[in-house]
Amino acid sequence: MTALFEQGEHVLVGPGDDAAVLRVRTGHVVVSTDLLVEGAHFRRDWAEALDVGHRAAAQNLSDINAMGGRAHSLTIGLAAPGDLPVSWALDFARGFAAECALVGASVVGGDLARSDQVTVAVTVMGACVQAPVLRSGASPGEVVALVGRQGWAAGGLAVLGRGFRSPRVLVEAYRRPEPPYEAGAVAAQAGATSMIDVSDGLLADAGHLAADSGVAIDLRAGAFEIAEPLQAVGAALNVDPVQLVLGGGEDHSLLATFPDAGSVPEGWRVVGEVRDGGDQAGVVTVDGAAYDGPRGWTHF
Q: Was 162 annotated as part of a binding site?
A: no
Average pLDDT, the chain: 94
Q: Was 83 annotated as part of a binding site?
A: no
pLDDT at 74 over 60: yes
- Can you say how many angstroms the Cα of residue 31 is from the centroid of all Cα atoms in its chain? 15
> Residue 16 in 3-state DSSP?
coil
Q: Was 297 annotated as part of a binding site?
A: yes
Q: Was 135 annotated as part of a binding site?
A: yes
**Quick one: pLDDT band at residue 12, thresholds 50, 70, 90?**
confident
**What is the per-residue pLDDT across 182-208, written as a single tens digit (0 to 9) for each?**
999 999 999 999 999 999 999 999 999
Closest CA to 140 of 257, 256, 284, 270: 257
Percent of the chain's residues with pLDDT above 90: 84
Task: Provide mean pLDDT across the span 55-78.
Answer: 96
CATH number of the 2-128 domain? 3.30.1330.10
**What is the per-residue pLDDT across 228-274, written as a single tens digit (0 to 9) for each?**
999 999 999 999 999 999 999 999 999 999 999 999 999 999 999 99
Give domain 143-286's CATH number out of 2.60.40.10, 3.90.650.10, 3.10.105.10, 3.20.20.140: 3.90.650.10
Q: For position 4, what pLDDT does the model report?
A: 78
Give the DSSP letter of residue 19: S
Same fold, 2-128 and 143-286: no
Q: Was 212 annotated as part of a binding site?
A: no
Q: For position 27, what pLDDT does the model report?
A: 76
Q: Was 63 annotated as part of a binding site?
A: yes
Angle (nearest 5°) at CA 42 between 221 and 241: 20
| 123-159: b (≥16 Cβ within 10 Å) or e | bbbbbbeeebbbbebbeeebbbbbbbbbbbbbbbbbb
The alpha-carbon radius of gyration of the chain (Å, integer) is 19
Q: For position 1, what pLDDT does the model report?
A: 66
Q: Was 110 annotated as part of a binding site?
A: yes
Task: Provide mean pLDDT across the span 111-140.
Answer: 95
Residue type, position 267, single letter? G
Q: Was 252 annotated as part of a binding site?
A: no
**What is the per-residue pLDDT across 270-296, written as a single tens digit (0 to 9) for each?**
999 999 999 999 999 999 999 998 887
Q: Was 33 annotated as part of a binding site?
A: yes
Segments making up each domain of the chain, as ranges: 2-128, 143-286
**Quick one: pLDDT band at residue 298, thresholds 50, 70, 90?**
low
Q: For position 25, what pLDDT does the model report?
A: 74
pLDDT at 107 over 70: yes
Q: For position 300, what pLDDT does the model report?
A: 43
Task: Look at 293 and 75; give whichever has higher pLDDT.
Answer: 75
pLDDT at 14 over 80: no
Closest CA to 248 of 170, 194, 183: 170
Q: For position 43, what pLDDT does the model report?
A: 95
Question: What's the whole-model pTM score?
Answer: 0.93
Q: Was 41 annotated as part of a binding site?
A: yes
Task: Look at 292 and 219; give whichever has higher pLDDT.
Answer: 219
